[in-house]
Amino acid sequence: MLKVAVLASGRGSNLVSLLESEKVGSLDAKVVVVVSNHPQARALSVAREHGVESLICPQPWRQEDREAAQTAMSDALQEREVGLVVCAGFDRVLVGSFVRLWEGKIINVHPSLLPAFANTLHAQEEALSHGVKVSGCTVHMVTEDVDGGPIISQAAVPVLPGDDAASLSARILEREHRLLPEAVRLYAGGHLRVEGRTVVVGEG
Ligand code: GRF
């Protein structure tokens, strides 16, 4: 069974959706560890409530310190024989050495239709400020190009009159909670093949 590490910095609702899929047997993978850079992250309590190991791995601002922290994180994941790293609301950029080591084995969920509103923690606010009529979410492979890796799947939602960041985020989040577990299931089943910029979804 594919072992999954989830990196999460905040409330962990995507983590919950993964754990719920796992519980009903539709993930084809097992979340073995949850890593957060914030000791108070709700995602860590979610992990504990579900009996999943949780680790705190602070992400210092200085580049050298960040690299050292991510090397330690990588070692911890390797020790646990992790086969897939899922960034689910991880609010720090992964350094090049980490991404290269885990190439092809890291995915991320982002609350916009990439490549629009990439590399920001405020994608929904920026979408509203831009006046878009459709937004959504994207699950993609992580490469060194932040939010620029090959796209696995996307879901669109309408932007409605009167929307604010909270209402739009909630509408997008509902789709994230279906898209992310489905992407993990496809990955675990060997159904994803990356060809250049394109992820081909097939039969393994
Ligand atoms: C999600 O909107 C995700 O797309 C973004 O951060 C948010 C995390 O939410 N990267 P949660 O912590 O999973 O509830």
* Nearest atom, ligand 1, residue 87 CA: 10
Reported as a single tens digit per residue, the pLDDT across 129-165 is 999 999 999 999 999 999 999 999 999 999 999 999 9
| Of 13, 56, 37, the residue nearest 180 (C-alpha) | 13
Distance from the alpha carbon of residue 25 to the mean position of ligand 1, in angstroms: 23
Whole-angstrom distance, CA of residue 80 vs CA of residue 94:
19
pLDDT at 63: 85
Mean pLDDT of 73-81: 97
Residue nearest to atom 8 of ligand 1 (CA): 89
Q: Where are the alpha helices (DSSP H) in the chain?
A: 13-23, 42-49, 63-79, 96-101, 123-130, 165-188
Residue nearest to atom 3 of ligand 1 (CA): 89
pLDDT at 65: 87
pLDDT at 204: 52
Distance from the alpha carbon of residue 169 to the mean position of ligand 1, in angstroms: 9
Whole-angstrom distance, CA of residue 110 vs CA of residue 89:
8
Reported as a single tens digit per residue, the pLDDT across 82-115 is 999 999 999 999 999 999 999 999 999 999 999 9
Match 């739009």 to its residue by tokens: 168
Catalytic: 50? no
Number of other CB atoms surrounding residue 151 within 10 Å: 17
In this predicted model, which residue has the larger pLDDT, 36 or 60? 36
Whole-angstrom distance, CA of residue 139 vs CA of residue 109:
4
Burial of 80 (0-12, 13-18, 19+ CB in 10 A): middle
147: left (phi over 0), alpha (psi -120 to 50) or beta: left
pLDDT band at 58 (very low <50, low <70, confident <90, very high): confident
* Nearest atom, ligand 1, residue 172 CA: 2
Reported as a single tens digit per residue, the pLDDT across 176-198 is 999 999 999 999 999 999 999 99
CA 146 to chain centre: 12
pLDDT at 203: 67
Match 């929307």 to its residue by tokens: 163
Phi and psi of 107, rounded to 5°?
A: -125, 160
CA 196 to chain centre: 21
Tell which one of 14, 125, 138, 167 to mutate to probe ligand 1, the residue whose CB is within 8 A of the most ligand atoms. Answer: 14
pLDDT above 70 covers a percentage of the chain that reads 99
* Nearest atom, ligand 1, residue 14 CA: 13
pLDDT at 59: 86
**181 ligand 1 Cβ < 6 A:** no
Verdict on whether the full-model pTM lies above 0.75: yes
Whole-angstrom distance, CA of residue 117 vs CA of residue 122:
8
Residue nearest to atom 1 of ligand 1 (CA): 89
pLDDT at 109: 98
